[in-house]
Amino acid sequence: MTGSRLSSGGLVDRSRSLSFTFDGKTLSGYEGDTLASALIANDQLLVGRSFKYHRPRGILTAGSAEPNALVTLGRGGRTEPNTRATVAELYQGLEARSQNRWPSLEWDVGSLNSLLSPFLGAGFYYKTFMWPKAFWEKVYEPFIRMAAGLGRLEMEADPDRYEKAWAHCDLLVVGAGPAGLMAALTAGRAGLRVILADEDFRLGGSLLPSMASVDGAKAADFAATTVAELQSLGNVTLMPRTTVFGWYDDMVFGAVEKVQKHVAVPSHDRPVERLWRIHAHHAVLATGAIERPLVFGGNDKPGIMTASATSTYVNRYGVSPGDRVAVFTNGGTGYRTAQDLVSAGIQVTAIVDTRAGADDRVPDGVRVVRSAGVVDTQGRKRLGSIIVERAGFEEEIACDALAMSGGWTPTIHLACQRGAKPVWSEEKQVFLAPDSDPRLTLAGAANGLETLAEALADGAAKAFAVLAKLERTASGTDVPAVEEARSSVHSPVWYVGGARSKAFVDYQNDVHVKDLALAQREAYSSVELSKRYTTSGMATDQGKIANQNATGIIAAMRGISPGEVGLSTYRPFYTPVSLGVIAGTSRDEHGRPVRRSPLHAWAEKNGATFVEAGLWYRSSYFLKPGEKTWREACDREVLNVRANAGLCDVSTLGKIEVKGPDAAEFLNRLYCNAMLKLPVGKARYGLMLREDGMVHDDGTVSRLAEDHFFLTTTTAMAAEVLSHMEYYAQTQWPDLDVTMVSVSDQWAQMAIAGPKSRAILSKIVDADLSEEGFPFLAAREVMLKGGLAARLFRISFSGELAYELAVPAGYGEAVADLVMSAGAEHGICAYGLEALNVLRIEKGHVTHAELNGTVTPDDAGFGKMMAMQKPDFVGKQLSSRFGLTAADRLQLVGLKPVDPKNDIRTGAHLLKEGAKPSMANDQGIVTSNCFSPTLQHPIALALLKSGRERMGETIVVFDRLRGDEFPAVVCSPVFVDPENAKLKGEPARPARPAQKEAAE
Amino acid sequence: MNGPFMLRHALDGAVSANPARGVNHVEILADPLVISISARPATVARVKERLAGEEGLRFSGPAEWLVVAPRHDAIRVKSLTEAMGADALVADQSGGRVVLRLSGPAARAILAKLTPLDLHPDVFGEGQSANAFFGHVGVNLARLEGDVFELVLMRSFALFAFEELLEMGLEFGLTAGFAT
């Protein structure tokens, strides 16, 4: 009753012993082993517990379809749950733990579930957790969550690096088995750029465990020779340990390369995994086939594995799963495995064949039981015997391992991931890939071919076809001769009748035949519904083991062909992909690109606290010694700007230059206000609409020359406005002779605002900055004293006498330093985004907090700016539509709390006094708020129904989220200096009774 | 020309003052010239003709080019602006761009981790340039010769992109420093 290492044979390096642990026990294997083969060598055939019933499970396969042998590898941040032991390359110091068991793998309390199994069938959840409703969240959800999942995540951060890369080739060959190697060799010799990718750490696929001879050599040696030749070709890239997991648009394939998953402590210089996006002009899928288990009673005991897995463990890894092995088959594969076992000196107790007759060679001395089936198995944590039934006669045959073969399912996943449905072959009784794209073909076993000779020939043929398409001459690649024992075809048996215990279809999710039958009875007979009702095919192997059998069984239950039942939809990923590799380098500080202003270092040395604004890091406020909160800094900055001066970094604004004979006409159509006659050397506020009449963005437009303009946009909309402009230039008005370019990064731009700003700038700008020499809205190139060309704009967002000074980005810091030192005697301060925001709220200037996509110019108080006399502009036509001119639209107003202790907060809703809070009674919404240091009480901007008619009304500010409900008074949105006297550096005057003009 | 004004490079402080220079190296140009030239459908033929033979000319989109040189040169900006006249929008973008030169036998392998462009010499030869993704940001990439590539990045993204570049070069011992 032992799994063991054979005395010789296999492709493992017996001179390099590796020690590893499983559940704390120290074991040893060899280089070239997988964790699974090393576990078998140490007679550890019990590897895990199943998901629902906690049944003891072993190793079913020798490849990536493994549903049972899932383990947790590593520790701490490197912990990786649900790793398939069958593809985990063994390395010195590997630590593996079994899953889904407590307190231990041997004694698992959860296995009590097995006793409850009559109540735990498909649909159990849906039927059980219905009532009482009060239990849904308090009892059922925690219970289900506790029971769900297999391995446990470690919450520690993953210390390893991941990255992404692109590759390009003429031909991508997926799978380095016989067909793939021949395809790559044929194309490689002809000089194509070839990528050959395979999920295994050793290239050769089914050649590696094959006992056939190819070109007179052992199959594995032929593989090694071919790989060596491919390696020598400069135009061929070999990618072992690389799983191609998806086929995407435009012939892009996704793949994950395991770069350092086979070492205990990865080098920091390299990633542990790399995500490849491979753009291939052509692709040959030589992805092989997956051997199906037979569905019979008790088919899940440790020691039961597929026949090809048994052969692989014996031939490739030199390990034996048992001393006395039985074979259960419906085709030639079982006989070949029996021969492999006998050749390795392992006793084969019997071959049980479902068929009446077959002409396969039976190894000497091995008993064959024909027209028979296994109906049950004995043994608890390890197979002890099988019960074989034929014609009503039952016989127990002792064995400690069983090799089963239910036939082969071509691996067509990639070809079906983009919507095309697989095609049922009545002849071969398998699903084949659809013909959906001439650039993608399948070869070998993936193409439904069964023999090695066919696979080799098909691989070469598919590569020749690609060469012919590319009109490349192929240098001769002869298909090698194969010597191999004849093997009969499989005659499908989807379900072995007479099962006396559970016959599993999906091992990992514990779905057995009776679950599928229940789904039938409850009308979930469509394959997609059956999948979801029973969870068959929903485990981490995504139905690689289960789906074909499930379709066969559903078809048999319904009395129709499997082709009529179909398969559930194939989707990426072919095998599980770590989230780490999908993130790549996009984690922590590099979670998204960071943009830094050219004045970033200036802000840092002036004590800025930064805030993320989109991708930008912007200076938020500048704490001075003694200040503890942002409010203290912000209030001081605001008052200082109003009293003296301040410098604010506005480099993040979008900046666009527009040039051409039709530039003025272009801008005239782009903005809703008039631009045609803007004089050279002047700036103007500009409001841009969308076609639907809503405000798109606002900014300034300056005319540098007759045919040359400079625009600013808001920070957030910079890229969008440029593409908006390009769209109109290229598609709507191609007749306009105009071009544009973004210069956002070229200029460091600083706002210098406050009554002292003129005095400060006069010290450094070599120009007449008097009211006459440089009036409001002047925009000109100037020279700084010392000889630096700059652009100066007399514009103001704060309501103060203010300028924006732009210099080439690299000189931004030097110029900002100069302004600060020139301004020191005038009390200049640096001010940040918080103060900028307060200054603009005090002046009732809008930002995207107000211009939220549902706001028209009139809503924002800019109604008179719209130049409706223009023949056309973007948004004009729809501006007059019903609803946009309605009297009860939300309009911009100011709000002051009746009790100045009440802070009006953004997001609060407005209600009429006495009205019940409801959607119907909603009067509007608060869009911006701040504490006004100038007025010494909180203020807010809001959008209020018919707001401009409601000045002086007392309204209720309602915010249930934050428990606010208090009265406020509706007022003009311009709280400070409504006469705009300060714009010219004069003292503020009280408002005249009449309403203010629009912003300009 | 720019008098007492000190130039600050976006990558100041991102590399050590005396870096070792490995076989794979990225050189940061301290004060390069980058000019963008945007023609219009009506003028593109004329502009193209006038730009023929211009040193450091890079394709950067339909009817759009960059002129890149190792040293900023205001006279060249002026003369190019005058030569284009009303036919093209010429903008000095030198302050808004960071220019890197990546060279070495692993240059292509490093770039393959950052840009989807196929940089096989048969596909992307000497003198060719293109706009592309670079990590998560944009780049104008040119092959100057063999395994020497020039990268023109936006200044605001430059530090982020440069850090990505260095990380992708780790396994090849990529070094970096300002051009001397």
Radius of gyration over every alpha carbon of chain A, rounded to an integer in angstroms: 38
In the prediction, which pLDDT does A995 show? 41
Length of chain B: 180
In the prediction, which pLDDT does A109 show? 82
The distance of A738 to chain B (nearest Cα, Å) reads 6
In the prediction, which pLDDT does A418 show? 94
The distance of B126 to chain A (nearest Cα, Å) reads 19
Return the higher-pLDDT residue of A7 and A130. Answer: A7
Q: Terminus-to-terminus CA distance in chain A, angstroms?
A: 92
Spatial distance between the Cα atoms of A248 and A418, rounded to a whole number of angstroms: 7
- Domain segments of chain A: what residues? 4-109, 162-289+410-483, 498-577, 606-632+746-830, 654-742, 885-984
Assess A162–B contact: CB distance below 8 Å, yes or no: no
* Closest-approach residue (CA) in chain A for B123: A168
Helix (H, G, I), strand (E, B) or coil at A740: strand
* Closest-approach residue (CA) in chain A for B165: A585
In the prediction, which pLDDT does A100 show? 85
* Closest-approach residue (CA) in chain A for B138: A593
Spatial distance between the Cα atoms of A363 and A422, rounded to a whole number of angstroms: 37
In the prediction, which pLDDT does B1 show? 43
Spatial distance between the Cα atoms of A551 and A531, rounded to a whole number of angstroms: 10
**For residue A113, what are its two tokens?**
């579930």
DSSP string, A485-503: ---PPP---SS-SS-SS--
Fold classification of A162-289+410-483 (topology level): FAD/NAD(P)-binding domain (3.50.50)
In the prediction, which pLDDT does A992 show? 56
The yes-or-no verdict on residue A529 having pLDDT over 70 is yes
How many Å separate Cα A937 from the centre of its chain?
A: 47
Assess A740–B contact: CB distance below 8 Å, yes or no: yes
Q: Please state the CATH superfamily assignment of the domain spanning residues A606-632+746-830 in this structure.
A: Probable tRNA modification gtpase trme; domain 1 (3.30.1360.120)
Amino acid letter for position A930: C
In the predicted model, what is the mean pLDDT of chain A? 95
Return the higher-pLDDT residue of A52 and A505. Answer: A505
In the prediction, which pLDDT does A399 show? 97
Interface of A with B in 6-35 (CB under 8 A): none
Q: Tokens 């930064």 label which residue?
A: A610
In the prediction, which pLDDT does A153 show? 86
In the prediction, which pLDDT does B158 show? 98
Q: What is the pTM of this model?
A: 0.94
Domains parsed from chain B with CATH numbers: 25-178 (3.30.1360.120)
Burial of residue B35, with CB atoms counted within 10 A of its CB: 0-12 exposed, 13-18 middle, 19 or more buried:
buried
The distance of B53 to chain A (nearest Cα, Å) reads 23
The yes-or-no verdict on residue B156 having pLDDT over 70 is yes
Alpha helices in A559-705 (DSSP H): 562-565, 579-583, 600-605, 630-643, 663-670
Chain A partners within 8 Å of B6 (Cβ): 811, 813-814
Assess A788–B contact: CB distance below 8 Å, yes or no: yes
Is the domain spanning A4-109 CATH 3.20.20.80? The answer is no
**For residue B39, what are its two tokens?**
């023609």
In the prediction, which pLDDT does B2 show? 56
Spatial distance between the Cα atoms of A226 and A184, rounded to a whole number of angstroms: 10
Amino acid letter for position A104: S
Task: Bin A796: left if φ > 0, else alpha if -120 < ψ < 50, else beta.
Answer: beta
In the prediction, which pLDDT does A677 show? 96
Q: Do A598 and B63 touch (CB under 8 A)?
A: no
Is the domain spanning A885-984 CATH 3.40.190.10? The answer is no
Beta bridge partners of A790: A782
Among A130-139, A441-450, A469-478, top mean pLDDT goes to: A441-450
Task: Please give the share of chain B, as a percent, with pLDDT higher than 70.
Answer: 98
**For residue A142, what are its two tokens?**
């925690």
Length of chain A: 1000
Question: What's A29's DSSP letter?
Answer: E
Fold classification of A498-577 (topology level): Arc Repressor Mutant, subunit A (1.10.10)
Question: Using 50, 70 and 90 to split pLDDT, how confident is the model at A999?
Answer: very low
Assess A279–B contact: CB distance below 8 Å, yes or no: yes
Burial of residue A67, with CB atoms counted within 10 A of its CB: 0-12 exposed, 13-18 middle, 19 or more buried:
buried
Q: Do A787 and B91 touch (CB under 8 A)?
A: no
Q: Give the phi and the psi of residue A324 in degrees, each rounded to 5.
A: -125, 110
Spatial distance between the Cα atoms of A910 and A966, rounded to a whole number of angstroms: 10
Q: What is the average per-residue pLDDT within A929-939?
A: 98
Q: Tokens 């990865």 label which residue?
A: A266
Pick the CATH number of A654-742 from 3.20.20.370, 3.90.1520.10, 3.30.70.1400, 3.30.9.30: 3.30.70.1400
The greatest distance separating any two alpha carbons of chain A, rounded to the nearest whole angstrom, comes to 114
Task: Please give the share of chain A, as a percent, with pLDDT higher than 70.
Answer: 99
- Residue A46 exposure: Cα atoms within 13 Å on the Cβ side: 18
In the prediction, which pLDDT does A994 show? 43
Question: Using 50, 70 and 90 to split pLDDT, how confident is the model at A982?
Answer: very high
Amino acid letter for position A734: P
In the prediction, which pLDDT does A608 show? 98
> For chain B, what is the HEC assignment?
CCCCCCCCCCCCCCCCCCCCCCCCEEEECCECEEEEEEECCCCHHHHHHHHCCCCCEEEEECCEEEEEECECCHHHHHHHHHHHHHHEEEEECHHHEEEEEEECCCHHHHHCCCCCCCCCCCCCCCCCEEEEEECCEEEEEEEEECCEEEEEEEHHHHHHHHHHHHHHHHHHCCEEEECC
Query: Which residues does A972 contact at the CB level (< 8 Å), separation at least 6?
Result: A844, A893, A894, A951, A978, A991, A995, A996
Question: Using 50, 70 and 90 to split pLDDT, how confident is the model at A990?
Answer: low
ipTM comes to 0.97
Whole-Å CA distances, A223 to A89, A185, A462, A487: 20, 11, 19, 22
> For A756-813, what is the HEC assignment?
CHHHHHHHHECCCCCCCCCCCCEEEEEEECCCEEEEEECCCCCCCCEEEEEEEHHHHH
In the prediction, which pLDDT does A547 show? 97
Q: Tokens 């598609």 label which residue?
A: A731
**For residue A445, what are its two tokens?**
């076993």
Reported as a single tens digit per residue, the pLDDT across A43-95 is 999 999 988 888 999 999 999 999 999 999 999 999 999 999 999 999 999 99
Task: Bin A536: left if φ > 0, else alpha if -120 < ψ < 50, else beta.
Answer: beta
Q: How many helices (H) and strands (E) does chain A have?
A: 23, 53
CA dihedral (A435, A440, A443, A449) in degrees, to 10, reads -10
Question: Using 50, 70 and 90 to split pLDDT, how confident is the model at A1?
Answer: very low
Q: List the single best residue of A656, A659, A747, A788 to mutate versus B (max B Cβ within 10 A).
A: A659
Q: Give the phi and the psi of residue A334 in degrees, each rounded to 5.
A: -60, -40
